Amino acid sequence: MSHPTRVETTVAELGISCDACHGPGERHVTFHQATKNEDPAVIAAAPMVDPEKISQVAASLICGQCHSSSQARDPIDWLKNGSRYRPGEDHTESFRHAEIGSAEPLDAPYLKDSFWNDGTCRAGGDELLDLHDSACYQQGRMSCLSYHSMHDSDPTDQLRCSNDSNESCLQCHEQYRDQLEQHSHHPIGSSGSQCANCHTRHTSFALLKAIRSHRVDSPRTTDTTLGARPNACNLCRLDQSLQWTATHLSDWYGVPRITMSETDQKTSASLLWLLRGNATDNRRVGYELATRA
């Protein structure tokens, strides 16, 4: 007989099972073992969830059940019975997500360091939360599947358009196709003309490397104090100051200039991040240096 304070656990399946993304498969399998019928009408009688055929919100929650920080609304039920969520359903019905600024903040203090001051994820694994903060998701139909494919992609990063990443953005922002150089102010084909390098910079840390922010937004300069998210321009131009970036954002894009300290005006921003930041910030700048060596 087990001790009352011990939790009895069993492994259902090692790795990420088909059911985690497609829903319970038992009925589907027994049905097809019995009929062996290839008729689409018959197959539809015992369906599996196809993430591509449901709303972008429900599809993203399939990934977000694991790729976000969440707490069960009923922890005792969760410990006894496991997750009540099934793919295709609303994950937030049984779990609270750690959205910064949400009406339902999580109790876990360790989450505080998982976010930059502006609420963007600093630690990887919370990609859903950044997606939720993106205008492309809120006003468009962007989902995890706009970029990722689970069965037709390289296992590293699992990107749908790995040959030309700009296509992932141009599928919705077609107007930038012919005006890319005017917009980016960098030569076509250079890393400075890759949409993702300016709009989803590597500002999260996970899987022992820097990964792209999943919050699509535009470069901005704030300051270099602890917790301020590094901007795309200074993560590329490691030798330049925030002032240099602010001047270009103003000259090229009309972004209003902000007042900044004399140090931020004169010193390379990457050096200040290294000196003022915590371990994650240091790794961020270290990643840029290491990937260029």
The residues of the shown chain that bind ligand HEC, judged by CB under 6 A, are 16, 18, 20-22, 50-52, 62-63, 65-67, 135-136, 139-142, 144-146, 148-152, 156-158, 166, 168-173, 176, 180, 183-184, 186, 192-200, 207, 216-219, 249, 253, 255
CB of 192 to ligand HEC, least distance (A): 5
- Complex with ligand HEC: residue 218 or 265, whichever CB lies closer: 218
CB-based burial label for 169 (10 Å; 0-12, 13-18, 19+) = buried
| Distance linking the first and last C-alpha atoms of the chain | 59
- Complex with ligand HEC: residue 197 or 204, whichever CB lies closer: 197
- Complex with ligand HEC: residue 96 or 186, whichever CB lies closer: 186
- Complex with ligand HEC: residue 65 or 94, whichever CB lies closer: 65
- Complex with ligand HEC: residue 30 or 278, whichever CB lies closer: 30
User: 280: Cβ–Cβ under 8 A, 6 or more apart, which residues?
Assistant: 113, 122, 123, 205
CB of 201 to ligand HEC, least distance (A): 10
Alpha carbon distance 122, 99 (integer Å): 13
User: 199: Cβ–Cβ under 8 A, 6 or more apart, which residues?
Assistant: 169, 216, 217, 218, 232
CB half-sphere exposure, 136, CA atoms < 13 A: 21
Nearest to 221 by CA among 282, 289, 272, 166: 272
CB of 161 to ligand HEC, least distance (A): 10
CB of 291 to ligand HEC, least distance (A): 15
CB of 271 to ligand HEC, least distance (A): 22
- Complex with ligand HEC: residue 94 or 168, whichever CB lies closer: 168
CB of 107 to ligand HEC, least distance (A): 23
Query: What separation in angstroms does the CA of 48 have from each of 45, 54, 133?
Result: 10, 12, 30
Alpha carbon distance 138, 129 (integer Å): 12
Q: Are 117 and 227 spatial neighbours (Cβ–Cβ below 8 Å)?
A: yes
